[in-house]
Structure 1
Amino acid sequence: MLYKIVRAPKIFFLIALALAGILVVFQPTASVQAAAPARLTTVQSDASRVILELEFSGYTAREVKVGNATYTALTISGLAPSGETGKPQLPLKGAMIGIPPGAQPSLKILADDAQTVTLANPPLPVPTDQVQYLPNDPFPVPSGRAYIADATTYAANQFYPAEAARVISTGTWRSQGYATIEIRPLQYNPATRQLIMHRRLRVEVSFGASASRVATSAVNEGAFESVFQKTLVNYAAAQSFRTARTPARFAMNAQAYTTGDWYKVAINRDGIYQITCAQLASAGIDTASLDLNTLKLFKNGNEIAITTTGQCNAGGLVEFFGQAATTRYTTTNIYWLTFGGGAGKRMSARDGSGSGTIPASFTATAHVERDYTYSAGFPMIEGADRWFWGSLPNAQTRDYTFDLANLAATTVNATMQYRVVGINTGNHRTQVYLNGNLLEDATWYGKAERVGTLTFPQAYLIAGTNTIRLAENMAGSTLFVNNFDVSYLSAFTAVTDTLRFRDATSGTRQYQVAGFGNASGLVFDITDPANVARITGATTTSAGATYTLQFADATSGTREYLTLASAQRQSPVSITRDTLSDLKNANNGADYIVIAYGGFIPNIQPLASYRASQGLRVRVVDAQDVYDEFSDGLMDAQAIRDFLAYTYTNWQAPAPTYVVLVGDGNFDFKNNFGNSDPNYIPPYLRLVDLWLGETATDNRLVAFNADNNLPNMAIGRLPANNPAEVDAMVAKILNYEQNPPTGDWRSKITMIADNADAAGDFPGYSNLIADDPYYLPAPNTPNRLYYGQASYTTAAAMKSAIIGCINTGSLIVNYVGHGFTTYWGGEQFFVANDVSGLANNAYPIMLSLSCYVGFFQHPTNPSLGELSVRAADKGMIASWSSAGLGLASGQDYLDRGFFEGVMQQGITQIGPATVYGKTFLFTTTGGAYRDSLDVFTLFGDPATRLPGTTTAPTATPTATATNTPTATATATNTPTATATATNTPTATRTPTAIATATNTPTATATATNTPTATATHTPTATATRTSTATATNTPTATRTPTAIATATNTPTATRTPTAIATATSATATPTRVGNQPPANNLIRISLPMVVK
């Protein structure tokens, strides 16, 4: 196999745009009106409603040229941009409200201080982000970002959005019912070019007549209480709206395996297994006192039939039919052996002597498959097989060989079923040959799986090696080849003294199986694997050098038989005693759960002990115990999710808040590549990435509610591959909290950005945070390292600056731009190998708003995100980065949310800050970018506390329910100095410590910051909007904001502008922040097309 990294220069996108005749130019930002951060205040909250007020002092405008079209980018400090593709991108504020059971929330506007201005140019549309798949590459690459305005919206004589505020969704998050709302303080009419500014908008959200008015005992959410406190705008009242957990019984009818003596019997092939007393003794069983009659064997909680012969003092044996596992994780299966008590379940026996109709043949199927290539995105079906033989590009052929024996002489047709996947849109033309005979010449369409079923004369098959040839003959087409199933009539002849067959004919049948090497033939009816029957009375007769086994059976429906010589009975791979666990005991409880690979448990104990000393209920769990109780002993990431869901619903309240996974993992569970790293804690692979397809999502391990993918626990991973790496990460965490270095590094924020290109204005995204005191209030200071600007015009200079900032100390290192698994930027100005050269003892939090930097599931190439965290005595304390692709615009919400949580909401722990970031995205985007919730992975301990905060991370309060209205009757613009955790939500969303936001705007305020540049228009602010209810603060003034439209160089490419002139799809620039820079840096997994 070969991993090939292909790098293309970033200029690729600029060339693509030049060829398309389109240029996107962002002019410098200019404030059109005073831009103090917008502020959302909870005015009143009780059991029936919530009243909120959004207030802002002005917006910021920026001229943007797209080709020959000119747009205005509008932003408001403290608000996020809208994300509906093609529609005007306008600021919005989202909020989450706790609602009582049965609520049907509705929203109305109580007061509206509105003003209308006229824009010279329409608002910039939300960009359309595109990716493409290249032949032979299982990972997609960016194909561009297009500013394609929605023609209907931009031509309409009506305001967009239609409502200034609305309810977006309702659902349940842990015990809390919620509603999300959005407030849109700017509305635009494309026909009149009028922009309504709702400077102060007061809204009421009523819960409806069906909402429960009965206060319940507040559910104690433990340490997760702080997340609700910072997220719900009516936190205090909402405590009494919660619904207690309903204990859930785990679906699998699993044996408890919690008392008595249990032994795990591992097997890896289908067949009859024999266990000797010597093997039982080697496993630690006292065979001298063992009564074989009491032996019992279980699978998936159900006892299966076995056979025992004699006792151990007289050569006793145990026999059973075992089946290999067929999961994506393993072929090794586990059977559970115990003894004592009454007699166990035994195989039945029936007489096989006699005569009947003798069949001449049976239908056999040869499965032909080799797993050489992994594809995350094909097909886009959850749970689909993603391992392929390889690719089949256009104008090429591939041969696939397999061996057959014992073909029956027949004129009946055979069949072949083949599975391929098209990885490109458009037509495919696929030709299928068998041993030189053309079976099919098919034209078909699209990125889809094709399952072809072909019929042909069995004479096309030969005894020995057969060859299937596929040819792809459509220009531009590429296929992934999965497998083949060839069904044919086989003679009853044993191969290596074994024959397994089925017969669907009812009646008394006599079977004659030739080809055995001796007369020791055994027969089993394996139709029901849990109730295997032994067929006795079979006879063997000599037929020259071989023997023929003969038996009869009365059949009804399809029966399956296994015949074999006694020497073909197999021995288990291993028999080991199980260390009992009791994870399903409802008396268990924890705030902080560690799930660790067994060999790492001693190394994680110091961290677990430290968390316990802080008052958390801590439970360290061996991952194998999770598999034993939730997947019958087999490694399976679903078992981890099932376990965590079980702890949430069944363990003692409060439910767990923190989860730490201790161990690395990768997608090559079966080591198909031959050199993959072990799986210590396997990734949970789900189809959550809209472009990549399947990727690792630790988030889904803790997202239990059916109506959303919000995390119910704060989860992080310590991606260790050996005990020393666990020791290193634990030491860093303990030093970070217990002995942080002194100095001003705690207020330094390193803002790193890739250079702006056709893929996006990465410095612009970074500046949305760096320039805004809402996100970076004093004394925090940003240190900007923007590639292509100032002194950072080469990769070497950029690398030196990044390493220097990390070494001198930063609280947060925030990167926005192109990225791949092992580096930042197409120029690779910071790479995984640079981590080993760091010399810092102040460990920053790394936020990587890019693609693939958190792609930890690669089998051999560790990601930058994980390497930076597990580096000993250097690097990062935590990394929050993507395990897939994503849109820059969506990742921006996560970034803003993290900073808002830490800088404004007073969140002091890394895990809750990431949860807040995800909640910010969830509440702000109206359903967009939900994939970002799933693909972002936290490497580190979620309970890690930021330096300078001393409160223990436990938050297990006795929540007191109250329905008392909390009201600050009127909202002000004076920020509160602290965010105190009380049960009275006094402006819970009020900024904390923003010294500049002290002004109280009045209705007569005039625009400030009039630009000195040439203004292209002066809006007339005469129209007002009055409230629909209690019309307070109706403005009487004529505000005269002067918009700015700085002149820019007109692109030389000739393109006829239209009223909505937008970049076409040909101009595409990727909207994800940094998948592999443009067309660069894919993982190519290509392996030789050979049959092992």
Structure 2
Amino acid sequence: MLLQLTGCGDSIQSSTAQQSSQAVISTTNEQSGQQTSVEEIPSVDEKPVISPSTPVQISLPGWSRESDNKKARPKENRDEWSEWRSMAAGFVARKRKMPETDTQQVLKRYASRDELKKNLKKGRSGKQAHLVKTSEAGLYKLTVPMLADLMGKRESKVRKLLSKGKYVKLGYQGDKAQWHYDAASDALYFVAQPYKSLFTTDNAFQLSQQGNGKFAMPQSGRKAGKPSLAVAPGTFTHTELIEQDNFSYPHLFKTADANYWVWKLVRDIAPFEESIQVTSPAESGVARMRIYLSGASDIQGGDDHRVTATFVSDGIEVEKFVTWDGFEKKIIELEIDQAALTSGNGKLRLTTELSGSWELLDRIEIDYQREMHADSNQLWMKGLEAGTHTVRGLSSANVYLVESPTDQPVWRSDLLVTPEGDGNYSATFKLTATSDVLVSADTAINEPLVTADVPSNLKSRNKRANYLIIAPRGLTDTANTLKAYRQGTHGKVKIVWLQDIYDEFSFGRADPQAIRDFLKYTKERWRKAPEFVALIGRGTADHTNIQGKLDSWVPLQMAVTPWGLASSDASYFDVDADGVNDFSAGRISVVTDEEGVAYVNKVKNYESLAFDGNWMRRVVLAADDPDSAGDFHADVATAAAHVSQLGYDSEAYYYPTNDIGAVLRDSTTWESSVVGYMGHGLTGRLDKFLKKEDVASFDNSKGQALFLPLTCSAGNSNYPGYKSLSETLVFPDQAELDASGRFLKGAIASVAPTGKSLNADAGVLATAFYNAALAEHRSLGDAVTVMQSQSVGQVNDFMLNIYWLLGDPALVLN
């Protein structure tokens, strides 16, 4: 059983970054002999120290390498994680388990032809477009029957137009992607490049009808003459990329756009060891291995990382060490005799000699001479020299070749296909100049995922909205319910679907920068820019669903803090980068429509309540005991006095004089205008006083407070499958809905930090927020904007980015 542990500990008094510790421990049960592995995730939340008394070993999950994908990746992902659970000493943990069948992904990838036709025939017109997504590099096809279904044309008409190189346009990154129509197989073929980011592993094309223009590839445009005889297969220089995205460590990176998913964290007590295999290596030559590392600690002056890389295979050993300082990146380069690669027995070991230093392994690249053998019935060769070449190992006689597949592609039909005698075939061709070449048997050609895409027009300058909703189509009911309600209170409400933003601002690919660019466009170009913006959908650090939780709808962006990265929506809404939101904005962090509609109904119920001064003028504040992180008692006393001056009834509770745990767990406490807290906190709890699990027992249907925790990480939604305390209070889990689908308890909204917070700065933010929300009765989105604008120059810049609104930005506190 593999456990992941993470936690958050202390609020921080100064801006000096403090390091947390991380360990990988493997122990053996003396009675059963069963090994138990514990992987602790170092978090911005916690500074745990683990001193194992048992021998340390490494336990790695099983991964396989698919040869021509140039990437080490998991076998069919049968590992899944259980729910996070709170543990002692500020940790949360979860374990690997065998998942149920991933029905959602199966339906997505293997929708039936009839279902595809039904969905795509809706709204057909001459302007109808379709989004074409590819998940791997290689040759793809769209059959004529499928194209006829998509376009609503007769198959014979489609064939006639395709044979002339017309009719179908494939858009790619604002340009056209050329295709080839093969009459023998009755299909259109195109080449897809690999694409990978933190937010998607799919590349995207736009498929549309065009009456004019030629879109087909030239055919045999560089014809060198069909070879008369096959030649002995040669070799070519190939780069194999080997990587695994196993762990997410945002807090160990210092740039907002960093790729925070890594293969392994290496420590003196946890070295790295992995088998290294490459595809079809030639028997002779020199291979060059590059190992990409970065520092994840800075424990002493000068160099504090010393890593030794050792590659061993069949008696051949190559070793090299490097040193470097701090959080810099480092590459170890090894030269290896290719004879050491041919057996497939190679192992790479990374060890660090300095106790307490951490190093992150990102990826490994190996340049080597590769035989021209299509191990997966497809072979992409880059920089192939002029001459005659033969590719072996193709399982079909139907072989296709594209020269210069990503740059002015040419469909080559002048190749010689011959049987090899073992049931396989070889393909021989000539090149007149150095070029890239893609060779594929028909058995290796994929069909892309195609979805309907009615063109949007978000760049029209005549657009206008008072209230803008950005949502994925998977949360359509939530978006429509919110629109119907806010039209009655805020006039012009517009829904913009997330995919439409991607289509117009990032060529159809998921990219948070597209959301920011779109919002900037609305502010600068729309006839009326929106005042309110609501993002609908949870976001986590696992937007590509590596861990199988399927709970990230709208991507998270990151803000740089002294302790690494913390999630932040500020970069979406602060389009001029001055530290202040340009919209009154918030996120409705839900995963299903049932949860989203329940939250909208919660807001409707809240805003329909008659005035009741017994709770609507009540503010409850709780203070942790003072320590080096801050004088929480004094700060809460100051806040209570300020709130009283604003005309509210303040109640202040101080630990240990008062049992603030009992106060915070009391349902009647949450029948208030605001519940605030100052002290230590974690993603899922307020120190030892309130855990996210406690919310299930709340019964405060009379009214729900705004939650304002001045602590660490209480609004952090980074973890897939694990909601923060703020999310738990504000938004329901589907299982928590009552019989009528309601969730009238917890908090109505929250303004909470996503990472470590400075106590003194948090007090400045809170004062400005109280003035705007309580004294001036501004909407919560407005109050956050005022909080930011009045705090610029008074607090550290990062603090303006990590306190975000979870809830409806137009809501006004009763």
The question of a shared fold, defined as TM-score above 0.5 by the shorter chain, is answered with yes
After superposition, the Cα gap between the structure-2 partners of 1:739 and 1:140, relative to the gap in structure 1 and judged at 3 Å, is closer
Alpha-carbon distance in 2 for matches of 1:139, 1:831: 18
- Residue 406 of structure 2, aligned match among 513, 528, 539: 528
Equivalent residue for 2:63?
A: none
Secondary structure in structure 2 of the residue aligned to 1:349: coil
Matched with 1:294 is 167
Aligned equivalent of 2:810: 943
Residue identity matched to 2:406: D
User: Is 1:135–2:22 an aligned residue pair?
Assistant: yes
| Cα 1:762/1:884, change in 2 over 3 Å | same
Contact 1:380–1:687 (CA under 8 A) maintained in structure 2: no
Give the partner amino acid of 1:353.
Answer: G
Q: Does residue 419 of the first structure (1) align with residue 292 of the second (2)?
A: yes
TM-superposed CA distance for 1:602, in Å, is 2.6
Q: Is the CA contact 1:360–1:491 (under 8 Å) kept in the aligned structure 2?
A: yes
Cα distance per residue 1:599-627 (max 9 Å; x no partner): 32333334323322234321112222222
Please give the root-mean-square deviation of Cα atoms over the aligned residues, in Å: 2.7
> Which aligned pairs between 1:38-77 and structure 2 lie closer than 5 A?
none
What TM-score does the superposition give when structure 2 sets the normalisation length?
Answer: 0.80
| Alignment-derived partner of residue 179 in structure 2 | 306
Q: Which amino acid aligns with 1:916?
A: V
CA contact 2:255–2:565 (8 Å) conserved in 1: no
Q: Structure 1 547/131 Cα, relative in aligned 2: closer, same or farther at 3 Å?
A: same
Partner in structure 1 of residue 430 of structure 2:
552
Structure with the larger helix share: 2
* CA apart distance, 1:406: 2.7
Q: In 1, are the aligned partners of 2:191 and 2:405 still within 8 Å (CA)?
A: no
Percentage of matched positions with identical amino acids? 25
The reply on whether 1:392 has 2:266 as its aligned counterpart is yes
Query: In the alignment, is residue 846 of structure 1 matched against residue 722 of structure 2?
Result: no
Q: Compared with structure 1, are the counterparts of its residues 142 and 767 closer, same or farther at alpha carbon in structure 2 (3 Å cutoff)?
A: farther
The answer (yes or no) to whether the contact 1:281–1:287 under 8 Å persists in 2 is yes
Q: Secondary structure at the match of 1:776?
A: helix
State the Cα deviation string for residues 77-129 of structure 1 (Å, max 9, x = none): xxxxxxxx9xxxxxxxxxxxxxxxxxxxxxxxxxxxxxxxxxxxxxxxx9565
Distance 1:520 1:583 in 2: 44
Query: 1:316-715 alignment to 2 at 5 Å?
Result: 316-350=186-220, 351-353=223-225, 360-410=234-284, 412-425=285-298, 426=300, 427-436=304-313, 437-503=317-383, 505=385, 508-529=386-407, 531-545=408-422, 546-555=424-433, 559-572=435-448, 574-653=449-528, 655-673=529-547, 675-684=548-557, 686-691=558-563, 693-706=564-577, 708-715=578-585
**Conserved? CA contact 1:259–1:580, under 8 Å:** no
CA deviation vs aligned residue, 1:906-963 (integer Å, no higher than 9, x gap):
243111111111112115x1xx41101111110111111222xxxxxxxxxxxxxxxx
Q: Can you give the 5+ residue segments of structure 1 that lack an aligned partner in the other structure?
A: 14-84, 86-125, 145-256, 793-797, 948-1092
Q: Is the alpha carbon distance of 1:777 and 1:461 closer, same or farther for their aligned partners in structure 2, counting shifts above 3 Å?
A: same
In 2 relative to 1, CA 727–519 (structure 1 residues): closer, same or farther, beyond 3 Å?
A: closer
SS of residue in 1 equivalent to 2:750: strand
Deviations 1:723-761 (A, max 9, x none): 111121111211222224624212211011111123221
Structure 1 position 533, deviation (Å): 0.8
- C-alpha displacement of 1:527: 4.6
Give the C-alpha shift of residue 844 in structure 1. 1.0
User: Is structure 2 residue 650 aligned with structure 1 residue 782?
Assistant: yes
Structure 2 residue aligned with 1:1021:
none
> 1:434 touches 1:460 (CA, 8 Å); kept in 2?
no
Q: Distance in 2 between matches of 1:814 and 1:396?
A: 41
SS of the aligned residue for 2:373 comes to: coil
Shift of 1:896: 1.0
* Bigger mean CA deviation after superposition, 696-705 or 381-390: 381-390
AA paired with 2:440? L
Q: Identify if the C-alpha distance between structure 1 residues 538 and 416 changes in structure 2 by more than 3 Å, giving closer, same or farther.
A: same
2-side partners of 1:309 and 1:808: how far apart?
67
2:721 aligned partner: 860
- C-alpha deviation, 1:273, in angstroms: 1.1
Q: In structure 2, the residue corresponding to 1:470 is in which secondary structure?
A: strand
- 2:592 and 2:384 mapped to 1: Cα distance? 52
Between the aligned partners of 1:617 and 1:814, the Cα distance in structure 2 is 34
Contact 1:429–1:474 at 8 Å: present in 2 too?
yes
- The answer to which structure, 1 or 2, has the higher relative contact order (CA under 8 A, 6+ apart) is 1
Distance (whole Å) between structure 1 residues aligned to residue 341 and residue 16 of structure 2: 50
Match of 1:211 in 2: none
- Contact 1:138 1:376 survives alignment (8 Å): no
Residue of structure 1 equivalent to 2:152: 285
- Secondary structure of 2:666 counterpart: helix
What is the CA distance between 1:887 and its match in structure 2?
0.8
Given that 1:806 and 1:844 are in contact with CA atoms closer than 8 Å, whether structure 2 keeps it comes out as no
Check 1:805–1:550 CA distance in 2 against 1; reply closer, same or farther (3 A cut): closer
User: Alpha-carbon deviations, 1:441-479, whole Å to 9, x = none?
Assistant: 223332322122222322332233432111222222222
For residues 744 and 733 of structure 1, what CA distance do their matches in structure 2 show? Answer: 20
User: Aligned with 2:323: secondary structure?
Assistant: strand
Residue 749 of structure 1 aligns with an amino acid whose one-letter code is: V
What does 1:21-36 correspond to in 2, within 5 Å?
none
Is it true that 1:750 corresponds to 2:620 in the alignment? yes
The answer to whether 1:799 aligns with 2:661 is yes
Q: CA deviation at 1:395?
A: 4.5
Offset at 1:341? Answer: 0.9
**One-letter amino acid of the counterpart of residue 132, structure 1:** Q
Q: Take 1:751 and 1:395, find their aligned partners in 2: how far apart are those partners?
A: 44
Query: Alpha-carbon deviations, 1:697-741, whole Å to 9, x = none?
Result: 1111011114x2211111101111111111211112112222246
**Residue 730 (structure 2) aligns with:** 869
Whole-angstrom distance in 2 between the partners of 1:276 and 1:417: 41
Structure 1 residues 381 and 803: CA distance shift in structure 2, 3 A: closer
Is 2:262 aligned against 1:262? no
Q: Which residue of 2 aligns with 1:822?
A: 684
* d(CA) in 1 for partners of 2:709, 2:269: 41
TM-score, normalised by the number of residues in structure 1: 0.60
Q: Distance in 2 between matches of 1:613 and 1:588?
A: 20
CA contact (8 A) 1:353 1:536 kept: no
SS at match of 1:400: strand
Aligned pair count reads 692
Cα drift, residue 805 of structure 1: 6.5
CA distance in 1, matches of 2:352, 2:764: 44
Gap regions ≥5 residues in structure 2? 24-40, 49-123, 733-742
Q: CA deviation at 1:345?
A: 0.9
CA 1:343–1:142 in structure 2 vs 1: closer, same or farther (change >3 Å)? closer
CA contact (8 A) 1:893 1:920 kept: no
Q: Secondary structure at the match of 2:540?
A: coil
**Contact 1:405–1:464 (CA<8 Å) still a contact in 2?**
no
Please state whether the residue corresponding to 1:801 is helix, strand or coil.
helix
SS of equivalent to 1:339:
strand
| Cα-to-partner distance string for 1:490-546 (whole Å, 9 max, x where unaligned) | 1222213222112265xx4221223333443321113535x3111231113344424
CA distance in 2 between partners of 1:260 and 1:696 (Å): 39
* Residues 258/687 of structure 1: CA separation in 2 closer, same or farther (3 Å cut): farther
Relative to structure 1, is the Cα distance of residues 551 and 143 closer, same or farther in structure 2, using a 3 angstrom cutoff?
closer
Q: Determine the C-alpha separation between the residues in 2 that align with 1:741 and 1:526.
A: 71
Aligned partners of 2:811, 2:293: CA distance in 1, in Å? 47
Paired residue secondary structure (1:296): strand
